[in-house]
Structure 1
Amino acid sequence: MIGLVNNPQSWHAPVARGPIEWTQPIPGSKSITNRAFILAALANRESTIVDALDSRDTRLMMGALQELGTHIEATSTGPALLRARVRPAPFRSATIDCGLAGTVMRFVPPIAALTTGTVRFDGDLQARQRPMATILDALRELGVSVVGEQLPFTVYAQGTPPGGTVSIDASGSSQFVSGLLLAAARYEHGMTIRHEGGRLPSLPHIDMTVDMLRQAGVTVQTEPNRWRVEPGEIEGRTWRVEPDLSNATPFLAAAAVTGGTVRIPHWPVRTTQPGDAIRSILESMGCQVELEATGADFTLALSGPPAGMGLKGIRMDMSDIGELTPTVAALCALAQTESRLTGIAHLRGHETDRLAALSTEINRLGGDCEELPDGLAIRPAPLHGGLWHSYADHRMATAGALLGLVTEGVHVDDIETTSKTLPGFAHLWEQMVRG
């Protein structure tokens, strides 16, 4: 517990005194919400977004689009949920606050190129370290004037860019591809995007972008490492946002580590969200997973291994599902056999260097976590209490909460960073532990 006295704002992670038995509704997907806002702002008529997530990242996206001239009326419809009416308008000069939201800093610049004027971008101090050159160089290749290589930077736009073919190395983040895809139909000749570089991470997020573009009437042709978007209108429509499956993972993991059962209502049967992979991951670690029919809907029920059985370690390529790494790494730190999580070198460019952060913090609590060139090796070791640093990273914070669920004396230094994607996480977690 050394060091906690000097951190009076840290959050004492509650410890479960038995198996967790809980049903946890989850607000809308951040990834779908922010893509829906982008497509609505680019559409040919008004759109409505139902069950949009109300979080810091989505508020930053709304603020960015409003600064550019888009009309947005949003009303709360429940905890962390919004219903938004989005009316497109001509884009104008603006100053954009990206915060620490990758979707804002990488999806909005291609839209800013559609203005006639100057659009300045900046964000949190940590955001200035995040890789941006790929998207900014792509815009330059497409004829857009951009000054700067990372935040802060400025886009000097002169109306609709011609578009055309652009080659990028998106091995650092799939968001570089999605950012170009989302705006491509509004460029004069559309856009052909080629990925040339190392392995492309988080492909399900690109699949999500393509699927939503097609729902909005955009013609998209896909080949391995190549996407072609035809020029044309983006249709205004009603978007219904699924629950955020990545935000569900810590709650499901709570059942896994305590031998209890957690249910998540409204789990989609078909989805492009990477978070859906948590089902097979937890199953391979020894959990039982079932989709229960509830009328026309489904509830995911996950039960942890019976008492005395414990979690099994896993060996997994997580290149497509990197955002699940903090939760999965925490589970592996509690498993009975060694785990190796690979294919995730790109996580060094996320909100923080997640590989270094996870290794440092797991080892700080007595764990045995080794950073690999492209992942983590995690071996069984008894954990003890201590201060878990979140690095202003929402998924690091929830990983600390999970370890604290079965480890006495874990304090998370900044649990409120979870408001980035799940406002009120600490309250929801405490409710679950109390039962």
Structure 2
Amino acid sequence: MTDAHEDHWAAPVAAAALDARVRVPGSKSITNRAYVLAALAGAPTRVRVPLDSRDTRLMLGALASLGARSEETADGFLVHPLGAGGSSHGEPVEVTLGNAGTVARFTPALAALGDSPVLFDGDEAIRRRPIGPLLTALRRLGVRIDDGAGPGRGAPPFTVHGDGGVRGGTVELDSSASSQFLSALLLAGPAFDRGVTVRLVGDAPPSEPHIAMTLDMLHRFGATVEREGAEFHVAPAKLSCPEYVVEPDLSTAAPFVAAAVAAGGTVRVTGWPSTTTQPGDWLRGFLPALGASVRLDEDGLVVTGGSSIPGVDLDLHEVGELTPVVAALLCFADGPSVISGVAHLRGHETDRITALATELSALGADVAETDDGLRITPAPLHGGVFHTYDDHRLVMAAAVLGLRVPGIYVENPATVGKTFPAFVETWTGMLGTGR
């Protein structure tokens, strides 16, 4: 896996048109939502074929610290409700966040349901990711939070003081920086004394599909959810879902279907659902605009690349997590492209807009930052080191570039373990094994 560049991965070039069959792991977004809802249920939930990665292990660890233990099964985890794992009896608790945004945002409300002070902290990067509006909303719902002097810093480390429950009620929320702020309140809402009514203020949240995912999963666990425009209501409820099966992660599938477009040939991603709330399903409708043929059958999604890739103008506000892979692919287009609507990516694992502009330009592409995206003018590319900034999606973007550009060395490929620990092996298998 390493090369002369220590701790770097030499991204492999596609020697011929692809003919591959790939299965990607479970959706991170669905897995972590399922674990949170399982912790709030009245009885254990068997979560089947979940993603097993750093972020999901951090979520299980956080829930265990809060009193929701889990047991590994043959095909997933059995998650027990909060309280079933014992009580800390008021003793201080620590939750390790790593750089997992879902853990940092989905678990503080759960900590308020207990009777202990809970310290939340993680990697240096998580301290730079936005969370302030969520902490403000939780305070207004009756949660005691200490995140520094004065009005608070609005970032980890912070401490939630459990008072044995949350009053809940109506709250205004600015979720324009992340739809996870809204999802965090809605997921915890069934456990609040009065449920929760969230009125969105400010710009619309990014990634509407993730909001739809949260609402769908709440319904499946038995919650009553109502939505009227920018107002959401979740009533108090006793949740129950004996078994939940996680879909494959369609955003993690992005580099594999992009590979068919970049290198030519055909890639089949097995298990692709016919209906889903996942943002990654957007690819199914988009890839034909890049000259690819796309077919969904009973076994999965089949993508066959075309003879060329046209330049396009894209608003990716609702599917921003696909931006790194799409930007890499558009470096091979016949003409200029513009990606817009993704200003919120500056607050992800890294500032993805600046990182992509920097790394793609360093390899010869003409990529400029805009206020809310990127302007990509294709140019001859060359090899070099692609820095990944501890961001799993940048590893995937670099892999796509490497299909056609020899000599690309990917810094810290292990960071992809956040969502797909076996990515490198699966990627090389796609290139080395015809089916």
Which TM class, normalised by the smaller chain length? Answer: over 0.9
1:202 corresponding residue in structure 2: 207
Amino acid at match of 1:302: V
Aligned to 1:349: 347
Provide Cα deviations, 1:194-252, integer angstroms capped at 9, x if missing partner: 11011320110010000000011100001222110111111132100010001111011
Aligned to 2:150: none
1:414 to 406, 412, 415: 412
Asked if 1:377 corresponds to 2:378, the answer is: no
1:91-130 aligned within 5 A: 92=88, 93-130=92-129
Mapped partners of 1:232, 1:55: distance in 2: 30
Per-residue deviation at 1:135? Answer: 1.0
Secondary structure of residue in 1 paired with 2:344:
helix
Q: Structure 1 CA distance, aligned partners of 2:51 and 2:419?
A: 8
Q: CA offsets, 1:156-191, max 9 Å, x none?
A: 121111101111111100000001110011100000
In the TM superposition, residue 126 of structure 1 has moved relative to its aligned partner by 1.0
How far the C-alpha of 1:94 sits from its partner, in A, is 2.0
Distance 2:119 2:134 in 1: 15
Matches within 5 A, 1:126-205: 126-148=125-147, 149-205=154-210
The alpha-carbon deviation at position 89 of structure 1 amounts to 3.4
Deviation track 1:317-374 (CA, whole Å, cap 9, x = no partner) reads 1111001000110111111111111110000000000000000010000001111101
Question: For the Cα contact (< 8 Å) 2:58–2:103, is it kept in 1?
Answer: yes
Shift of 1:125: 1.1
Please name the residue that 1:59 is paired with: 57
C-alpha deviation, 1:153, in angstroms = 0.7
TM-aligned CA deviation for residue 292 of structure 1:
2.0
Residues of 2 paired with 1:19 and 1:368: CA distance?
27
TM-score, normalization by structure 2: 0.94
Is 2:241 the counterpart of 1:242?
Answer: no
Per the alignment, residue 329 of structure 1 pairs with: 327
Instruction: Give the whole-Å Cα distance in 2 for the aligned partners of 1:226 and 1:372.
Output: 31
Tell me if the contact between 2:66 and 2:110 (Cα under 8 Å) persists in the aligned partners: no
Which TM-score applies when normalising by structure 1? Answer: 0.94
Q: Note if 1:73 corresponds to 2:66.
A: no
Query: What is the DSSP-based 3-state SS (H/G/I as helix, E as strand, rest coil) of the residue aligned with 1:433?
Result: helix
Residue 302 of structure 2 aligns with which residue?
301
Q: More deviation in 233-242 or 358-367?
A: 233-242
Shift of 1:429: 0.9
Aligned to 1:316, what secondary structure does the other structure show? strand
Structure 1 distance, partners of 2:363, 2:342, is 23
> How do 1:416-431 residues align onto structure 2 when only pairs under 5 Å count?
416-431=414-429
User: Structure 1 unaligned runs (5+)?
Assistant: none
Q: Distance in 2 between matches of 1:44 and 1:225?
A: 30
Q: Does 1:86 align with 2:79?
A: yes
Distance 2:209 2:114 in 1: 30
Looking at structure 2, the residues matched to 370 and 324 of structure 1 have their Cα atoms a distance apart, in angstroms, of 18
Deviation at 1:59, TM superposition (A): 0.3
Instruction: Measure the CA separation in 2 of the matches of 1:228 and 1:303.
Output: 43
Q: What is the SS of the residue equivalent to 2:218?
A: helix
Residue of 356, 359, 368 corresponding to 1:358 = 356
Distance (Å, rounded) in 1 between the aligned partners of 2:424 and 2:272: 22
Number of aligned residue pairs: give it. Answer: 419
Contact 2:222 2:241 in 1 (8 A): no
Counterpart-to-counterpart distance in 2, 1:115 and 1:381:
56
Amino acid at match of 2:426: L
How far apart are the structure 1 equivalents of 2:362 and 2:82?
Answer: 51
Per-residue CA deviations over 1:360-410 (Å, capped at 9, x if unaligned) read 010000001111101111111111001000000000111011101110100
Paired residue secondary structure (2:191): coil
Q: Percent identity?
A: 47
Match 1:286 to one of 277, 288, 291: 291
Measured in 2, the distance between the counterparts of 1:325 and 1:388 equals 16
3-state secondary structure, aligned to 1:320:
helix
